[in-house]
């Protein structure tokens, strides 16, 4: 074709969109404001302790395989995916725990130990998850929703699946144990949503996990980014780092290029892997933004934010799983404090990532690397992180020492943290939201920011804030939607 595409932002959505546009024959330039690729999926190395700064859970691995297959190549030749046996280990406040595993029989046995009637309940939940997956993922995740008629055609299916229910309501229809209800309703938190508000469409995650398993990229997610960078360079994609896009330029209502801090790149098509709220408020003149996008910018509910503590230890904790969920004494009430009251509380729940459980090379010999991720309110809360962050970080480390990591402070090599302020400044996330807008029913499909730009022609959106939503499968599917729009 010879036409030029500029992709703004090199998160997974931008990388996937660049590759898909290149496979269609476009000349592609990928522009990233940071000095490395990956966006939130970055990495930090301190004294040979390696930390991923973003996503660590790989589901739907075939979506990555597809990117290499576009050019007749094999993903396994570039990066190894390691299938995990224990997907998540849940630690409850009373000291009990539950292992959610790749082995179905072992998972069912652990469910039976906690509450025998919930064995059948989990199986019926999984069967329902499959039905939702077959519509919500197979049929709709990779389809554009910029026309209302497209949304209206899906309404009968959505009503049939009762997608107006929340994830919590759907789980409670099947499970009786409060512990298991918590364990099987946390999935929306992985994409920034409150289980008590998030549409049960996201219950499809249960079947998605069973279908493809849960994997970890050897060397960490950052090595997956490097593998994709290698592929892009091999296929002639131009990569420009350290350039912040300041404006998308237009000619007669169509995009004509992007103006950056260090130059200008002309283009007949622009794909934005930025937060849509930032795109429409900062990179375009308001008179060129459609009223639909302006309304979303004004009224859309943003996702929660994240507080992440990174730390290394001078000993190993072999009893700690790769992925641990440490649940606090409150569940509904804590989520209400985060999403609705928007206050910082003394108690919390933690996602603890121990990559050295799978890949010991990510820390010095005999040591472990960790990050502890805690959901918090976004910056609309007014929380002063400059004042609160040190104490909050120490509270998290002390809690882990009391529960999973005895002697932690004695064996602590170092620690540091990222607050919502870092997400706002580094990744240009409005209000420091961790996942753009929340995955609510009225912020899904046509109601979400459209993949086709709402304003200028030949502008496209990928990433967490647009259809189909956040999470690695979501942002990779958003690139497939844009591929269809470019074809």
Sheet holding 263-266, edge to edge: 245-251, 254-260, 263-266
Question: Which whole number is the average pLDDT over 193-203?
Answer: 90
Cα(55)–Cα(190) distance, rounded to whole angstroms?
A: 9
Cα(202)–Cα(355) distance, rounded to whole angstroms?
A: 26
pLDDT tens digits, 395-411: 999 999 999 999 999 99
pLDDT of residue 317 exceeding 90: yes
User: Does residue 179 contact residue 114 with C-beta atoms inside 8 Å?
Assistant: yes
Cα(224)–Cα(11) distance, rounded to whole angstroms?
A: 12
Cα(64)–Cα(12) distance, rounded to whole angstroms?
A: 10
Q: Which two tokens stand for residue 64?
A: 């990555």
What proportion of the chain, given as a percentage, has pLDDT over 90?
A: 89
Cβ neighbors of 15 (< 8 A, separation 6 or more) are: 30, 37, 38, 225, 228, 229, 232
309 three-state secondary structure? strand
pLDDT tens digits, 354-369: 999 999 999 999 999 9
pLDDT higher at 186 or 1: 186
Question: Which whole number is the average pLDDT over 12-30?
Answer: 98
Which pLDDT band holds residue 150 (cuts at 50, 70, 90)? low
Q: Which two tokens stand for residue 201?
A: 């469409």
What proportion of the chain, given as a percentage, has pLDDT over 70?
A: 97
pLDDT at 356: 98
pLDDT of residue 208 exceeding 90: yes
Full-model pTM: 0.95
Q: What is the Cβ-side half-sphere exposure of residue 440, based on CA atoms within 13 angstroms?
A: 15
User: Does residue 430 contact residue 438 with C-beta atoms inside 8 Å?
Assistant: no
pLDDT tens digits, 172-188: 999 999 999 999 999 99
pLDDT at 441: 80
Which among 102, 62, 53 is positioned nearest to 81, based on CA atoms? 62
pLDDT at 155: 63
Cβ neighbors of 462 (< 8 A, separation 6 or more) are: 13, 14, 16, 17, 271, 272, 273, 451, 475, 478, 479, 481, 482
Cα(298)–Cα(282) distance, rounded to whole angstroms?
A: 14
Q: What is the Cβ-side half-sphere exposure of residue 371, based on CA atoms within 13 angstroms?
A: 24
Q: Tell me whether the omega of the peptide bond preceding residue 435 falls within 30 degrees of 0, making it cis.
A: no
pLDDT of residue 435 exceeding 70: yes
pLDDT at 252: 93
pLDDT of residue 200 exceeding 70: yes
Which pLDDT band holds residue 263 (cuts at 50, 70, 90)? very high
């Amino acid at each position: 074709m010879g036409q030029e595409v500029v992709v703004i932002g090199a998160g997974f959505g931008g990388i996937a969109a660049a590759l898909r546009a290149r496979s269609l024959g476009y000349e592609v330039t990928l522009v990233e404001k940071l000095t490395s690729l990956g966006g939130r999926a970055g990495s930090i190395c301190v004294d040979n302790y390696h930390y991923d700064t973003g996503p660590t859970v790989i589901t739907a691995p075939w979506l990555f395989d597809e990117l290499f297959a576009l050019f007749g190549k094999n993903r396994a030749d570039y990066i190894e995916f390691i299938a995990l046996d224990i997907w998540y280990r849940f630690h409850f406040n009373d000291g009990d725990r539950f292992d959610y595993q790749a082995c179905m029989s072992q998972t069912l046995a652990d469910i039976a130990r906690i509450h025998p009637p919930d064995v059948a309940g989990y199986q019926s939940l999984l069967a329902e998850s499959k039905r939702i997956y077959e519509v919500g993922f197979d049929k709709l995740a990779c389809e554009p929703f910029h026309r209302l008629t497209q949304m209206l055609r899906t309404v009968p299916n959505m009503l049939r699946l009762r997608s107006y229910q929340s994830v919590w309501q759907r789980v409670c229809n099947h499970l009786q144990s409060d512990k298991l209800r918590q364990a099987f309703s946390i999935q929306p938190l992985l994409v920034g949503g409150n289980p008590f508000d998030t549409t049960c469409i996201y219950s499809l995650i249960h079947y998605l996990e069973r279908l493809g398993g849960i994997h970890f990229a050897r060397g960490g997610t950052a090595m997956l980014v490097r593998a994709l960078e290698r592929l892009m360079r091999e296929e002639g994609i131009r990569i420009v780092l350290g350039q912040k896009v300041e404006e998308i330029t237009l000619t007669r209502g169509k995009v004509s290029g992007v103006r950056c801090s260090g130059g200008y790149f002309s283009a007949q098509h622009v794909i934005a892997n930025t937060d849509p709220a930032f795109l429409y408020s900062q990179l375009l003149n308001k008179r060129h933004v459609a009223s639909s996008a302006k309304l979303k910018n004004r009224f859309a509910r943003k996702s929660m934010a994240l507080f992440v503590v990174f730390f290394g230890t001078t000993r190993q904790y072999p009893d700690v799983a790769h992925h641990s969920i440490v649940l606090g004494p409150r569940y509904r009430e804590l989520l209400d404090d985060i999403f609705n009251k928007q206050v910082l509380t003394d108690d919390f729940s933690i996602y603890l990532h121990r990559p050295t459980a799978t890949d010991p090379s990510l820390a010095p010999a005999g040591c472990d690397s960790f990050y502890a991720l805690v959901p918090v309110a976004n910056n609309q809360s007014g929380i002063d992180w400059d004042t609160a962050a040190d104490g909050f970080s120490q509270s998290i480390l002390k809690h882990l020492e009391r529960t999973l990591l005895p002697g932690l402070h004695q064996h602590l090599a170092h620690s540091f943290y990222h607050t919502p302020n870092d997400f706002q400044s580094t990744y240009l996330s409005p209000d420091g939201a961790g996942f753009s807008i929340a995955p609510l029913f009225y912020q899904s499909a046509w109601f979400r920011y459209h993949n086709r730009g709402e304003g200028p022609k030949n502008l496209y959106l990928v990433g967490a804030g647009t259809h189909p939503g956040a999470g690695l499968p979501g942002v990779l599917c958003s690139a497939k939607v844009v591929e269809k729009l470019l074809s």
